[in-house]
Structure 1
Amino acid sequence: MYKSILVPIDLSDTELIKPALATAASLASCYDAKVRLLNVLQLTPVMLAEYVPADFDAQQHEAAAQAMEAIAKESGIDAARLSTAVRQGGGIYHEILEEAAAIGADLIVMTSHRPAMRTYFLGSNAGHVVRYATCSVLVVRH
């Protein structure tokens, strides 16, 4: 049923990703699916650009890639079916949807914080992904 599963990873909250990883591992095992772990880095604001080193974005990308590899090793997902990616862009949900389209994902498995008053008015990344994804989205609560 599922052949390609995308799992967005927020490196700032590693406890929150555990339920999504466990769910993706189980589904990948059942359906012999490939899993892509994705981290999205925000663009450095222009007003801060002069205060950070010239290679700041490259350093951030490298650090994120190393952290993603460590998470991949601990995920319990067969290495032959697992890949990682780090994207950088202005909108997290936009980059998630772009990656899903690029790899032909037929399922996105992601976690979400419990709804709060601010997310009802502003929306969350998970909410945007659910609304605009062209594939199925499974939101796993922590």
Structure 2
Amino acid sequence: MFHKILIPLDLSDSEAQTKALSVATEMARTHNAELHAVSIGSNLPDPAARTESERTATLNALVSDLRTQHNIDATAHEIHSVDPGAEMDSLLMQFIEECQIDLVVMSSHEPGLMEYIFPAHGSYIASHAKISVFVVR
């Protein structure tokens, strides 16, 4: 049913993504699908890494562990952005189109006041993508 699954990852918030990673790996294994883990970052330090190469190494290690632990085909993709917060939605939509992704599994936080001002990335992707999107809280 699904052949290519995308899971966007915020490497600075691994606890919130544990459920989404679990769902994505289970879907990839069940459907014998490719799992594409994407991290969008800049060359500025952030809570996940001090450098872009450190963030890439962290992502590669995570994906390597997923491959080994769950026996799935998984690939890491580090996407560079000047402003990850502002460009995330458009970069994810572009990746979905270019890689012909047919399912997105995203973690989401509990909605609050900020969603009235700034839409959440998960709701944007779910509203605009032409494919299935599974938002995990």
Scaled by the length of structure 1, what TM-score is found? 0.81
Structure 1 residue 138, shift from structure 2 partner: 0.3
Structure 2: state its 5+ residue gaps: none
Bigger-Rg structure (1/2): 1
Deviations 1:95-130 (A, max 9, x none): 111111121100000100100111123211112111
Bigger shift: 89-98 or 33-42?
89-98
Determine if contact 2:103/2:133 at 8 Å carries over to the other structure: yes
- Partners of 1:64 and 1:43 lie apart in 2 by 9
Structure 1 residues 32 and 69 mapped into 2: Cα distance closer, same or farther (>3 Å)?
same
Aligned position for 1:55: none
| 2:79 pairs with one of 64, 84, 87 | 87
- Partners of 2:51 and 2:107 lie apart in 1 by 23
Runs of 4 or more above 6 Å deviation: none
RMSD: 1.9
- Correspondences of 1:63-102 after superposition (within 5 Å): 63-75=54-66, 76-78=69-71, 81-89=73-81, 90=83, 91-102=87-98
Structure 1 residues 42 and 127 mapped into 2: Cα distance closer, same or farther (>3 Å)?
farther
Aligned position for 1:10: 10
Structure 1 residue 43, shift from structure 2 partner: 6.8
Aligned length in residues: 127
How many percent of aligned residue pairs carry the same amino acid? 23
Would you say 1:140 and 2:136 are equivalent positions? yes
